[in-house]
Amino acid sequence: MVGLLHLSSVHHPFLTMSASFLKKSWTVYIVLCANGSLYTGITNNLASRIADHNAGKGAKYTAAFGPVELVWKKRKKDRSAASILEAAIKKLSRKEKDALIATE
């Protein structure tokens, strides 16, 4: 008779990862474009996203006004929280965004 297989006895990377690892954190970021303007976005891989922006593969805006320099970032627990913060930042005036960046 074959015994039941218990998941605790299976050693597979996907089964042994913690739940917190499976939930990717998101980053809200602001970059300074070459023309002096600011661009705000979200990503779950900041280094890759900045590289994409500088390679002209990011947003159409940064492709037109790049290269970019990261000037501010804040990690959030999930995409929803990041999107809410991104929307709030996009509503700020330039002066308010500059003040936010200065606090970093």
Cis, peptide link before residue 67, omega less than 30° from 0 = yes
Q: Is residue 63 part of a domain?
A: yes
Q: Is residue 77 part of a domain?
A: yes
Note the pLDDT of residue 31: 98
Determine contact, residues 31/20, Cβ cutoff 8 Å. Answer: no
Note the pLDDT of residue 58: 81
Q: Is residue 17 part of a domain?
A: no
Note the pLDDT of residue 20: 46
User: How many separate domains does the chain show?
Assistant: 1
Full residue range of the structural domain in which residue 83 is found = 24-102
Q: Is residue 36 part of a domain?
A: yes
Determine contact, residues 13/57, Cβ cutoff 8 Å. Answer: no
Q: Is residue 15 part of a domain?
A: no
With a cut of 70, which residues of the chain have pLDDT below it? 1-23
Instruction: Indicate the SS3 state at residue 47.
Output: helix
Closest CA to 56 of 45, 64, 44: 64
